[in-house]
């Protein structure tokens, strides 16, 4: 075009309204279009500066001449790839991310006044263009924006777009904008950075870390490293790559899902691609995958606002089915790894494996404890590892290892001689050892009992007339009792001791334990009862008064 020709934008006014104002109502999505333009212009840095009621996006790309503004910027729907016959930027270093030529209209979704200032590298002037939404909508298919040419040093180049008369009442938050933009881009070019500068002058860089940096990651999957070449070969061949992580705690709804990027730009908002999304496991998953091969498809499968993919083509159907299978596989692996991690942490906290703990409990209580432990640690229960461990600690306090043994609150002396046999399940020998300890305690307390046969030992120790070992005296220091009470206590001590010795020690000492057990004459429960009785007898001996002859 000649220098005398006016710049003109030709369109149906409804095009601007439908493709701009109505399609791009969110600030980050509209700004993203200008960031993509900067990337395609081989810029190294984009500055997004937030002002009072305005926002400016400036890059150091190669910029445009006045003619290029007319042919490129002021043409709606221009597909630059067809014209240039290339999917690469001017330098050839980057894949082109812009395609439809509709991004410029996005700005009218968030503001009414757009000022463009651009300088082509090596040029001595800059082109300044002003677009007014109300004037455009009032025009009849042709709109002539305000235009000026200003001098520019040849070393300067790039494009600046200033957007004002914003369609919002709340101030733009620089951190929120940086976080939102981090979800819209996944440029892997080390030579490209995006900086958001707030009204306070503080700069915030847009990076992938902003997407996943806030996630308290528990497990991590890197693609394509974690793919199985025997089943995922098709997607490996297509160059799928990315990262998926699971958090230690459920994510907020806005953070959940897997985002798809194409050539560094959002192509499909986060989702789980229909893979049993009701599963609570997916509330822990987030991440992204780069599926650049979709950019080569004709017709285009990416929506104009770059928020969704057309899943009705042969290629995208294949991709979606693979994504569904991938989500299910990650779900299963997450459950397995989480169970293993939970088990390890639980064992470290409890000091014993759940199998060893539950297995040590005998009788009907074992089934109840086992069912409770399984319910708490089930993959289908949405409990964090810390919650599981805390509950199991409480259960362990109620039903500790060898709970039957501890529930009886055995006397320490009885515990010490029966613990090893009890842990091995040799309950019968535990009873024999407990009786031996009891008998030995009696003999050690009174020399005269050393040579008394066990059959007569208890009569000698706890005789009604003059017990050598007085187990009742300690109770009379503060309280008064009749003499009959003391006699009865000693008679009980004598009788119970004799009964335990005759009813348990003798049979176990003279018969095959296996036969006694198999016959039901002596059961596991009988042995527990015997240990409890012996423990009672030993407690009577605490504080016993030894009477001399």
First to last CA, the chain: 133
Q: C-alpha angle 39/45/48, rounded to 5°?
A: 95
Q: Are 92 and 110 in contact (CB under 8 A)?
A: no
Q: Is 386 left (phi over 0), alpha (psi -120 to 50) or beta?
A: alpha
Query: For every one of its 549 residues, what pLDDT tens digit does the chain have, with 9 covering 90 and above?
Result: 566 677 776 666 566 665 555 555 678 888 988 998 899 999 999 999 999 999 999 999 999 999 988 888 877 665 555 555 467 888 888 888 766 555 667 788 888 999 999 999 888 899 999 999 888 888 777 788 889 998 988 889 999 999 999 988 889 999 999 988 988 888 867 789 999 999 999 999 998 778 787 789 999 999 999 998 888 999 999 999 999 999 988 898 888 999 999 988 899 999 999 876 556 788 899 999 999 999 888 888 998 778 899 999 999 999 999 999 999 999 989 988 888 888 888 888 888 888 888 887 776 778 888 888 888 877 666 677 778 888 888 888 777 776 665 555 788 898 899 888 877 878 888 899 999 999 999 999 888 888 888 888 999 899 877 788 999 988 988 899 998 898 899 999 999 999 998 888 888 888 888 888 889 888 888 888 888 899 999 999 998 999 876
Taking the C-alpha atoms of residue 396 and residue 339, their distance in angstroms, rounded to an integer, is 19
* Residue 329 confidence (pLDDT): 92
**Can you name the residues that pair with 162 across neighbouring β-strands?**
56, 115
* Residue 293 confidence (pLDDT): 94
Burial of 57 (0-12, 13-18, 19+ CB in 10 A): buried
pLDDT single digits (tens) 395-429: 887 777 766 655 557 888 988 998 888 778 788 88
Taking the C-alpha atoms of residue 431 and residue 417, their distance in angstroms, rounded to an integer, is 9
* Residue 323 confidence (pLDDT): 95
Q: Within a 13 Å sphere around the CA of 261, how many CA atoms are in the beta-carbon half?
A: 22
> What residues does each domain of the chain span?
9-207, 212-334, 351-401, 408-546
* Residue 508 confidence (pLDDT): 82
DSSP string, 132-171: EHHHHHHSSSEE--EEEEEE--TT--EEEEEEEEES-SSP
Same-fold call for 9-207 versus 212-334: no
Q: What is the CATH number of domain 9-207?
A: 3.30.565.10
Q: Are 107 and 163 in contact (CB under 8 A)?
A: yes
* Residue 268 confidence (pLDDT): 94
- Map residue 413 onto helix, strand or coil: helix
Q: Are strands 45-50 and 193-197 parallel, antiparallel or unpaired?
A: parallel
CATH 1.20.930, domain 212-334, yes or no: no
Phi and psi torsions of 119, nearest 5°: -130, 125
Please report where in the chains the tokens 């984009």 appear, as a residue: 46
- Within 342-486, strands assigned E span 469-470
- Residue spans of alpha helices (H) in 149-232: 174-184, 209-212
**What tokens does 462 get?**
């706890």
Cα separations (Å) of 168 from 53, 112, 200, 528?
9, 11, 20, 77
Phi and psi torsions of 46, nearest 5°: -120, 125
Q: Within a 13 Å sphere around the CA of 76, how many CA atoms are in the beta-carbon half?
A: 19
Please report where in the chains the tokens 């150091």 appear, as a residue: 60
**Can you name the residues that pair with 196 across neighbouring β-strands?**
48, 204
Which residues fall within 8 angstroms of residue 21, CB to CB, at 6 or more apart? Answer: 108, 109, 133
Number of Cβ within a 10 Å radius of residue 22: 12
The rounded radius of gyration (Å) of the Cα atoms in the chain is 42
Q: Is the peptide bond before 377 cis (omega within 30 degrees of 0)?
A: no
């Amino acid at each position: 075009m000649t220098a005398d020709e006016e710049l003109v934008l030709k369109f149906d006014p409804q095009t601007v309204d439908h493709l701009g104002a109505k399609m791009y109502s969110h600030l980050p999505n509209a700004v993203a279009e200008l960031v993509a333009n900067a990337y395609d212009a081989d810029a190294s840095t984009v500055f997004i500066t937030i002002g009072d009621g305005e926002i400016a996006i400036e890059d150091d790309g190669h910029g445009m001449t006045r003619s290029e503004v007319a042919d490129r910027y002021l043409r709606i729907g221009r597909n630059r790839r067809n014209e240039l016959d290339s999917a690469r930027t001017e330098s050839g270093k980057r894949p082109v991310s812009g395609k439809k030529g509709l991004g410029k209209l996005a700005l009218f979704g968030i503001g009414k006044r757009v000022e463009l200032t651009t300088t082509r590298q090596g040029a001595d002037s800059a082109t300044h263009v002003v677009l007014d939404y109300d004037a455009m909508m009032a025009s009849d298919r042709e709109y002539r924006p305000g235009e000026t040419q200003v001098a520019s040093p040849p070393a300067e180049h790039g494009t600046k777009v200033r957007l004002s008369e914003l369609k919002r009442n709340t101030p733009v938050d620089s951190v929120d904008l940086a976080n939102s933009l981090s979800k819209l881009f996944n440029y892997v070019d080390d030579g490209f950075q995006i900086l958001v500068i707030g009204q306070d002058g503080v700069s915030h860089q847009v990076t992938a870390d902003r997407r996943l940096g806030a996630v308290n990651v528990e497990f991590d999957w890197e693609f394509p490293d974690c793919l199985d070449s025997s089943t995922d070969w098709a997607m490996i061949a297509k160059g799928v790559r990315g990262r998926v992580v699971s958090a230690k705690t459920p994510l907020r709804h806005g953070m959940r899902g897997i985002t798809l990027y194409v050539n560094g730009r959002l192509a499909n908002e986060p989702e789980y691609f229909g893979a049993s999304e009701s599963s609570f496991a997916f509330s822990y998953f987030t991440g992204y995958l780069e599926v650049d091969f979709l950019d080569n498809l004709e017709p285009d499968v990416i929506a104009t606002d770059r928020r969704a993919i057309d899943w009705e083509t042969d290629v995208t159907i294949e991709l979606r089915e693979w994504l569904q299978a991938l989500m299910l596989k990650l779900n299963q692996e997450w459950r397995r790894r989480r169970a293993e991690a939970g088990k390890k942490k639980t064992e470290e906290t409890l000091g014993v494996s759940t199998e060893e703990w539950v297995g040590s409990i005998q009788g009907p209580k074992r089934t109840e404890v086992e069912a409770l432990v399984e319910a708490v640690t089930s993959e289908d229960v949405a409990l964090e590892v810390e919650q599981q461990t805390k509950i199991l600690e409480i259960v362990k306090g109620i039903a500790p290892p060898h709970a039957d043994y501890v529930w009886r609150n055995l006397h320490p002396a009885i515990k010490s001689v029966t613990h090893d046999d009890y842990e091995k399940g040799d309950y019968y020998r535990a009873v024999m050892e407990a009786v031996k300890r009891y008998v030995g305690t009696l003999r050690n307390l009174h020399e005269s009992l050393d040579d008394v046969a066990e059959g007569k030992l208890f009569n000698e120790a706890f005789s009604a007339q003059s017990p050598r070992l007085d187990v009742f005296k300690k109770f009379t220091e503060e309280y008064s009792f009749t003499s009959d009470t003391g006699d009865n206590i000693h008679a009980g001590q004598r009788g119970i001791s004799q009964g335990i010795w005759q009813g348990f020690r003798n049979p176990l000492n003279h018969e095959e334990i296996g036969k006694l057990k198999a016959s039901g004459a002596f059961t596991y429960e009988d042995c527990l009862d015997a240990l409890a009785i012996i423990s009672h007898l030993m407690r009577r001996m605490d504080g016993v008064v030894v009477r001399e002859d």
